[in-house]
């Protein structure tokens, strides 16, 4: 399986997922709202941990590709 979730995106997903899970635990959410928030929290945490997002695959998005810094000959020569 190829990764399509970058490191910054991964951290944000896990933190937001944990915040939503804490919101369910500590706030008086009930009914359909609690179910939706719970599913969203689980989705964010799982995709953050496995570094793969099915919705990104459908939308052809890849945040794991890091842009390489521009290198000149001066940088390579150590000048």
Alpha carbon distance 59, 16 (integer Å) = 21
The domain spans of the chain are: 1-58
Residue 72's alpha-carbon distances to 67, 69, 75, 76, in angstroms, are 15, 10, 5, 7
Mean confidence (pLDDT) of the chain? 84
Tell me the whole-structure pTM to 2 decimals: 0.75
Among candidates 23, 22, 24, 17, which has minimal Cα distance to 50? Answer: 17
What tens digit of pLDDT does each residue of 13-29 get?
A: 999 999 999 999 998 88
């Amino acid at each position: 399986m190829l990764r399509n979730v970058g490191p910054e995106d991964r951290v944000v997903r896990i933190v937001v997922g944990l915040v939503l899970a804490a919101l369910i635990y500590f706030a008086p959410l009930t009914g359909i709202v609690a179910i939706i928030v719970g599913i969203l929290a689980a989705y964010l945490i799982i995709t953050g941990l496995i570094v793969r997002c099915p919705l990104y695959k459908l939308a052809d998005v890849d945040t794991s590709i890091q842009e390489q810094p521009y290198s000149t000959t001066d940088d390579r020569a150590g000048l």
